[in-house]
Every structure is written in C-alpha cells, then in structure tokens.
C-alpha cells in the first residue's frame, strides 16, 4: 500500500515517500515518516508490514552504528546494502520479513547510489526505482523520462509527474508525499508534495 519513488541524479539521490499509515480501510495517520537515516548520508525508505518495518529497520540501524563504532569509519552504501540483504536472506527461510527497502546513499568516492532490497533478499543497484502498487503506474513514466545525471529541478519535475499519475489513477488516496534529498551535505527534507 505504500508508495516509494526514488531517483538518482548528479551527486544526489531523491526519494518521495507517501506518509499514510493505513489500518484496514481507515487512515490512522497521514504524516508518518516511513524512513530511517543510517549514518550521515545514507537513507533507507521502507515499505511493508508496520511491525516488521520497525523491528527490522531499528535492528539494521543499531547494528550499523555498532559496526561504525567498532571499526571507526562509517560503512559505504554498497556495504550497508549487502549487510541488509544478508539479514533479509537469513530470516527468509525461518520467519520472512515482509518489507521492501530502498537504500539511497552518498559516498564521497562514488557519488550517489540507489539499492533495492526486496522481501525475498534480491539486491539490485538501480538508477531509479518505485515500490508498492504504484510502481505499476510509475515505472513506465520513469522509463521514458529518466536520464542520467539530471539536476535537482529536472528530477523534481519528474517526481511531480509521477505523483500526478498516482493521484489520477491509483485507487487509494495518498495526499502527502514526503521528499528527501541525500547529497554530500547529508540528508535533508525538501518538503511535502
């Protein structure tokens, strides 16, 4: 039910997440933050069952913090993505976590990167990604209009188009999309669309 759209631009990554918290047919809360910040400029957007989401992402965040304290230097996005994938795979054959994660991070050496880890333990590095039922609507738009190394205005323009299509065609009302940007300065919000 959650919608997450994520794109990678020139030296930054952008995520739009819907802020609804549904419970059967009612919206419990419409300003929920469905993300978690890991380290200074790594960002995890999660979609799935709320209980699994809290449990799993808290565990990931604290494990990665312990790791950075032990080693003394922060982990790269690539390492974090693989760590998360390992944890998901580990739980898969015992008690699977029903969550899909999009990890966006900025490393000084390689710039911004986007990784998708889905509930089966698939790990893919991508340039753009969408999660949830709305991915059916949004991927075709992203396929057509996405270009590598777009600047912020172009990326936000593309996001606005995607959210427009979601508002037009998706059955469920998702009034607010929280936009977050990750770049060398860290992770900050760009507002709500």
Partner 1 sequence: FQVEYAMEAVKRGSAVVGVRGADCVVLGVERKAVAQLQDARTIRKICKLDDHLTIAFAGFTADARVLIEKARIEAQSYRLTCEDAPSIDYMARHIAKTQQSYTQRGGVRPFGVSSMISGFNSDKSPQLYLTDPAGTYSAWKAHAIGGRNEKAVQEFLEKNWTATLAEDESIRLTIKALLEVVDSGSKNMEVVVSRCGEKVRNLTEEELEVIIADIEREQEEAKKSNQEATAMET
- Chain-centroid distance of CA 4 in Å reads 6
Q: Is 49 in the site for partner 1 (CB under 8 A)?
A: no
CB of 109 to partner 1, least distance (A): 22
CB of 15 to partner 1, least distance (A): 23
Residues shown for the chain: 193
**C-alpha–C-alpha distance, residues 119 and 116, integer Å:** 10
CB of 65 to partner 1, least distance (A): 6
Q: Which alpha helices (DSSP H) does the chain contain, by range?
A: 50-71, 77-92, 135-145, 152-169
Q: Residue 67 or residue 145: which is nearer to partner 1 going by CB?
A: 67
Using CB under 8 A, which of 59, 90, 122, 147 touches partner 1?
59
Q: Is 58 in the site for partner 1 (CB under 8 A)?
A: yes
Q: Report the run of H or E that residue 28 belongs to, with start and end.
A: strand 26-29
Binding range to partner 1, per CB under 8 A, among 3-11, 56-64, 79-87, 153-161: 56-64
Q: Residue 67 or residue 161: which is nearer to partner 1 going by CB?
A: 67
Task: Tell me the HSE value of 47 on the side-chain side, using a 13 A CA sphere.
Answer: 24
Q: Residue 30 or residue 63: which is nearer to partner 1 going by CB?
A: 63
Sheet holding 42-48, edge to edge: 35-38, 42-48, 99-107, 111-117, 123-126
CB of 60 to partner 1, least distance (A): 10
The 60-99 contact track toward partner 1, x by CB under 8 A, reads --xx-xx--xx-----------------------------
Q: Residue 62 or residue 167: which is nearer to partner 1 going by CB?
A: 62
What is the β-pairing status of strands 99-107 and 186-192? unpaired
Q: Residue 66 or residue 120: which is nearer to partner 1 going by CB?
A: 66
Q: Residue 59 or residue 90: which is nearer to partner 1 going by CB?
A: 59
Residue 14, SS3? strand
Compute CA distances 189 → 105, 160, 178, whole Å: 14, 16, 8
Q: Which residues would be at the binding site for partner 1 (CB under 8 A)?
A: 58-59, 62-63, 65-66, 69-70
């Amino acid at each position: 039910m959650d919608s997450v759209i994520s794109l990678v631009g020139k030296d930054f990554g952008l995520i739009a997440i819907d802020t609804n918290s549904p419970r059967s047919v009612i919206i419990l809360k419409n300003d929920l933050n469905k993300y978690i910040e890991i380290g200074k400029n790594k960002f995890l957007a999660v979609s799935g069952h709320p209980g699994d989401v809290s449990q799993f992402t808290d565990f990931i965040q604290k494990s990665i913090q312990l790791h950075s304290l032990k080693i003394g230097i922060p982990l790269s996005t690539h390492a974090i993505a693989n760590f998360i994938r390992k944890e998901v795979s580990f739980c898969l054959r015992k008690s699977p976590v029903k969550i899909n994660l999009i990890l966006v991070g900025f490393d000084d050496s390689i710039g911004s990167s986007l990784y998708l880890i889905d509930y089966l333990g698939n790990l893919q590095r991508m340039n753009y990604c969408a999660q949830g039922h709305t991915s059916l609507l949004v991927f075709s738009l992203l396929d057509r209009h996405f270009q590598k190394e777009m600047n912020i205005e172009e990326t936000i323009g593309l996001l606005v188009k995607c959210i427009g299509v979601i508002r037009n065609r998706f059955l469920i009302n998702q009034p607010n999309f929280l936009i977050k940007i990750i770049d060398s300065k860290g992770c900050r919000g760009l507002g709500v669309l």
